[in-house]
Chains A and B, each alone.
Chain A
C-alpha cells in the first residue's frame, strides 16, 4: 500500500504509546490511572496528550480509585480508560463488575507481566487471561481482546472503544510486557480512515426515558448525567428504571439481557486473523506476543515441508468458537502455545470434541516463546 505523504505519518512507536494514540483517535478524552510497570507509559502519554485535546488526565491514589473515576467519567458522557498490570488489575475487579452491571462503556488495559502477586514486574506472561474473563464476581459478560504488535495496539484500541460504546460493556485489552515495550514503525492512519462509534443516546422525552430498557439490540440508549435525563444508576440488581429490585422476573430479565446483548453481537465482536490457513493440515492457535513468534514459526515449518497455518485470536472472549472449530475440523492437530500454565488451551479443548489433537506449549519463565520452539513442535506434530 502506498502511503501518501500528505495523509499518513510514519512513526516509530512503542506498543504502549501506540495504544494511547489509538485511544485518542477513538475519541478517548478521560484517563485515570496509577503507575505500574509495564503500563506506566500509557498513563504518561495520555498525561501529555489529553489536556491539549480538552480532555482530562488524573493520577488517582490507587487502581480502585482509577476505575471509579473512569466509570464516573463515562457516566458523564466521556470515552474513558485506564491501564494497569496484574496487581492493579486485581484491585480493579470490583469496579469492573460495577461497569458490567451499570453498563458503562470503558476500556481497561492490562499489560500482563509475570504473576501471581508482585511476580515479575519487568517480564512478560499471559497469566491474566482467565482473570480478564472471570475476575469480577457474579455472572457477567465481558469482552477481552489481545494485541500482538504496535499496529495492533493502535487498531485494537479503536476496536475496543467502538465495541465498548456499542455494547455498553467494559472491554479489556490484554497486552504484555513484550508488545508494550517493543518499538516498531507504524503508519498512522489519517483520522478519516478510522471508523469511530459513539454510544446511542435516547431521543424520547425525558419523562419517558427508561435507562435500562430492553430495546431490540438489548443495549439501552445511554444518557449522560447533566443532559436532562435524570436517572438512577446502581450496582444493585435493578429494573428497567434503574431502581433496585428483588422480583424474580425483573432479575431474570436483566441477567439474560446482559448476556444476550453480547451474544447478538458475536459476528462483529469475535475477531481473528488467519495466516497460511488455506491448505493447513496442522495449526497454531495463538494470541498476543506469542502470535508474533507463531507467525515466524509457521514460515519456518513450511520451509521444512510442514503444511502449517496460524489462527491468531484477537478476541479472546467471547471465545471465537466458530473460527476455532473450523480450524479443529480442518486440521488433524493444533498447537496452543501460551506464556502461562494453560488458559486459552482449556477453551480450545472445551470445543474440540475429539475432532483433532490439541497440544500445548507452555512457558512461564517470563520469556517469549521463540519461533524455533514453536516450529520444532509443529515439525514433530506433523511427521
Chain B
C-alpha cells in the first residue's frame, strides 16, 4: 500500500484504469504526471474543478489516467478547446498538456494566440524533440543534425525555442524544466497554475525509444544524465557567453508578468454591454 507522497499521487489516478500505464519503460511522461499531480495537490484544488486537456501523441494519453474532468482533443487543437472551457466556466482550472509537435507544429498558431490573448490556463509542453507515437519522425524541436525516421541523413532544420515563442507572444508566465529536475518541475507547475493568465511550462523529456535510440542515448538513464549535464539555471546564464549556451537547456522561470486575463477583460465588456460600467467608454480611435 503506497503511503505518503506517492500514496497521495495515487489518490488522483483513475482507479478504474489499468496500471501500469501504456508508456514505455522509463518514459518521461510518467514523471510529468507525478509532478503535475503533486502540484495540484499542493494547491489544494478540487478534482471536480480541474479540467485536464490533452493533445495527440504520447503525452495525450495522460488524460485517461488522471481523475479530473479530462478531454483528449484532435492534434494541435487542445488550447482552443481549453479556451472554450475557460470562457464558459471560470471556476474550472484548465491545464493543457501537449507534446512538442502538437504545440508548435500543427498547434503553433493556437499556442501563440493563446499566449497573446492571455486566457487563464496553463500549457505544459512535454518536449521530447520527436514525434514518438507515430514512430520517431522529426518535430520542430528536433535538434539540428539529429537522426530520425524522416531525417535519415540528419536533421537540416533548426529547432524552435518553444519558451522563447511564449515569451515573445507575451505569455504571463513562462518556465522551462527537464524531467531530471522533478522537484523544480513541481514548483514551476504549481506557480504556473497559480498564475492568473496564460502560463507555459516546457518540460524537456526523454523519448529514449524513438529519439534517444537513434541519437546515441538509448536508455532513459543516459537521457536523464544528458539533461542533468546540460541544464543551466536561468540566473546563471547572465555570466555565460552565447557560445557556452549552445546545446544547453536553460531552466527556471523565463518570464513572469502581470496582465489582466482574457476573462477579466471580457467581464468588463459584459458590464459595458449591460450599461453598468463605471469606466468611461474608450475614445473613437483605438487606444494603443
Contacts and interface: CB of A to CB of B under 8 A. Distances in A.
- A and B: interacting chains: yes
Interface of A: 30, 32, 48, 51-52, 54, 56, 58, 60-62, 64-78, 80, 94-95, 98, 224-228, 230-236, 241, 243-244
B88 A77 contact: yes
20 contacts: A48-B273, A56-B88, A58-B83, A60-B83, A60-B113, A61-B113, A68-B80, A69-B87, A70-B84, A73-B88, A77-B88, A78-B88, A225-B71, A225-B92, A226-B69, A230-B47, A230-B70, A232-B64, A234-B64, A241-B16
Contacts of A66: 80
Nearest to A65: B80
Contacts of B49: 226
Interface in B80-115: 80-89, 91-92, 109-110, 113
Contact of B69 (A32, A65, A225, A244): A225
A61 B109 CA distance: 8
A225 B51 contact: yes
Contact of A76 (B17, B48, B85, B269): B85
B272 A51 contact: yes
A232 B70 contact: yes
A68 B84 contact: yes
B165 to A, nearest CB: 15
A235 B74 contact: yes
Contacts of A232: 14, 63-64, 70-72
A230 B80 CA distance: 20
B266 interface: yes
B10 to A, nearest CB: 16
B92 A76 contact: yes
Which 9 pairs between the two chains have the least Cβ-Cβ distance?
A: A72-B84, A68-B80, A69-B84, A76-B88, A51-B273, A234-B72, A52-B273, A72-B81, A73-B84
Contacts of B51: 225-226
A72 B266 CA distance: 17
B90 to A, nearest CB: 10
Contact of A75 (B47, B85, B109, B110): B85
A72 B16 contact: no
Given A65-B113, A72-B84, A77-B89, 15 more contacts: A52-B273, A58-B266, A60-B80, A68-B83, A68-B110, A72-B81, A80-B88, A98-B73, A225-B69, A230-B47, A231-B70, A232-B72, A233-B70, A235-B73, A236-B72
Contacts of A77: 88-89
Interface string B245-276: 00000000000000000000010011011100
B67 interface: yes
Contact of B88 (A30, A67, A68, A234): A30
Interface residues of B, number: 40
A32 B84 contact: yes
Interface in B199-242: none
B196 interface: no
Contact of B84 (A30, A48, A61): A30
B160 interface: no
A119 to B, nearest CB: 24
Contacts of B270: 51-52, 54
Contacts of A226: 48-49, 51, 69, 89, 91-92
A62 B274 CA distance: 29
Contacts of A243: 17, 64
B80 A72 contact: yes
B89 A76 contact: yes
Given A68-B81, A76-B92, A226-B48, A58 B87 contact: yes
A29 to B, nearest CB: 8
A78 B89 CA distance: 9
Nearest to B271: A51
A184 B57 CA distance: 51
A95 B82 contact: no
B176 interface: no
A65 B107 CA distance: 10
Nearest to B56: A235
Interface string B138-171: 0000000000000000000000000000000000
B173 to A, nearest CB: 21
Contacts of A224: 89
Contacts of B67: 230
B87 A73 contact: yes
A95 B75 CA distance: 10
Contacts of A51: 266, 269-270, 272-274
Nearest to B270: A51
A43 to B, nearest CB: 15
